[in-house]
A and B are shown apart, each in its own frame.
Chain A
Amino acid sequence: MVELFHQLASGLALGGVYAITALALVMIFQATQLVNFAQGEMAMFSTYIAWWLMQNGWDYWQAFGVTVVFSFVGGVVIERVVVRPFAQAPVLASVIVFIGLSFIFNALAGFFFGYSVQSFDTPFDGRPWFGNKFMSAHESGSVVVSLVVLALVFAFFRFTPLGLAMRAAAQNPASARLVGVRVGWMLALGWGLAAAIGAVAGMMAAPIVYLDPNMMGGILLYAFAGAVLGGIDNPWGAVFGGFTVGIAENLLGAYVVGEEVKLSVALIIIIGVLVAKPSGLFGRRIVARV
């Protein structure tokens, strides 16, 4: 029983990481109808920046803050320089751009920081919180950080004029431009936010999965499974899906399929949902654009 709770609780920790990564995927999808396959490698690269800063003596939270800001700016620049030129191109061209981006970040990380596995600090070390037997301090802390990120993102979209403008731009770009919304910049901003969220996800995951250039591969797959499960066009659904996948992954890994093949759980979820209910649990039916 204790073991079951333990598995559930650690599922929650990575579930939070999947949830915010899924949210980042949904943000880009809502604006462009494209899944950003480079999301994971961008997050991995951001995590290396934080690691490098800390190697050079920076305090954790300083490195965290600088990394998030740097990632935001990086996301904006990538959208403007790399993604924008393909906005009118066929979907396949964009997909190839995303895949190319992920190879580039993977190679850059290896080149600058090496391919060996590194441990990554957590600010939440020491004794478990509140005498919680089932979660390490880092697991508790990372759930809290994920929840804070979710709250901030939702508050931004719900309560600020800029958040409203971004939703309008994603939904009806022509109308948004007529009321004065700079739709192009809203897309860039979306990429910036997604990159910043990814940086947080990477920094929360790294103490658990360890830091190496391939650390985000599995995480992106789980996050995508979560987004598909909840409905790729529904932010709340994606968050729910992310947590669900985190817990399911841990339980199935521990009790059913074993650690070695549990990544295939993600694939089974993705394929299962796409076959049985393509819109996901909470999504709208995705109607192909003609």
Chain B
Amino acid sequence: MSAILAARGLKAFYGQIEALHGVDFEVEEGGVTALLGANGAGKTTTLRAISAMIRREGNLEFRGKRMTARAPEDVARLGVAHVPDGRGTFTDLTVEENLRLGAYVRRDRAAVKADFQRIFGYFPRLAERIHQQAGTLSGGEQQMLAISRALLLKPSLLLLDEPSFGLAPLVVAEIFRILRAINESEGVSILIVEQNANLALDLATRAYLLETGRVVVGGAASAIRADDSVRRAYLGY
């Protein structure tokens, strides 16, 4: 397996408090890697550390090079898009403005235009609501908007923080179907954080289990799913 992102002894801090105690993991190039764990395990913190939203220590390699970016805006410029916890909608702006912001760092205007159309192919509902104020969208629509905004960066790595959170099962199924399509047809590597382990393991090729800021198990998604003791101890089903 070749890794698009590799963490070695990654630590992360909120002020002086260490929330991630040196984790190792790899995100498969062209694959979907899942980060699982209970509430407070450090999943969101891991994604924030990757995006340099919080202070981090340890080694992070992106495409074989040490990631030195020290601010989220520089990480974005590397081609890492982050759909944050809570979706990060610009609620007072229109749907269109939210999407335009997704492509903010890009200069290839014609390609951006084509990408808008491609995204409306995935999420026709956004096209219908293009001039609506984004804060008035439903939760599911806002999640679609957040994913679309991230895709407009034309990322090589997509970080997703609980895309299923608070959504009805049908909407979740639709979003996961589209995530799979994005991964398979566009070759975007994905690192997905989920509480819903079942769902994530279906999509993922690799998975890691976090517990209080440490990785306890990692490996092929199928192996983790098949391991009864892991499933009972950590995934609770």
On A, residues with C-beta under 8 Å from B are 161, 164-165, 167-168, 171-172, 174-183
Contacts and interface: CB of A to CB of B under 8 A. Distances in A.
Given A168-B90, A171-B93, A172-B90, 16 more contacts: A164-B100, A167-B92, A167-B93, A167-B97, A171-B92, A174-B72, A174-B84, A175-B84, A175-B90, A177-B53, A177-B72, A178-B53, A178-B81, A179-B76, A179-B153, A180-B73
Helix, strand, loop or mixed for chain A's interface? helix
7 contacts: A164-B104, A172-B90, A174-B72, A179-B101, A179-B149, A180-B76, A182-B73
Contact of A165 (B72, B91, B104): B104
B101 to A, nearest CB: 5
Nearest to A165: B104
A178 B84 contact: yes
Closest 9 CB pairs of A and B: A175-B88, A180-B105, A180-B76, A177-B72, A178-B82, A180-B73, A179-B101, A177-B73, A179-B104
Nearest to A167: B93
B89 interface: yes
Contact of A178 (B72, B92, B93): B72
B213 interface: no
Nearest to B52: A177
A180 B77 contact: yes
Contact of A174 (B76, B88, B93, B100): B88
Given A179-B104, A180-B104, A171 B90 contact: yes
A176 B102 CA distance: 9
Nearest to A162: B104
A181 B92 CA distance: 17
B157 to A, nearest CB: 13
B71 interface: yes
Interface in B163-187: none
Nearest to B146: A175
A184 to B, nearest CB: 9
A181 B90 CA distance: 13
B51 interface: yes
With most chain B CB atoms within 10 A of its CB, the pick from A164, A165, A180, A181 is: A180
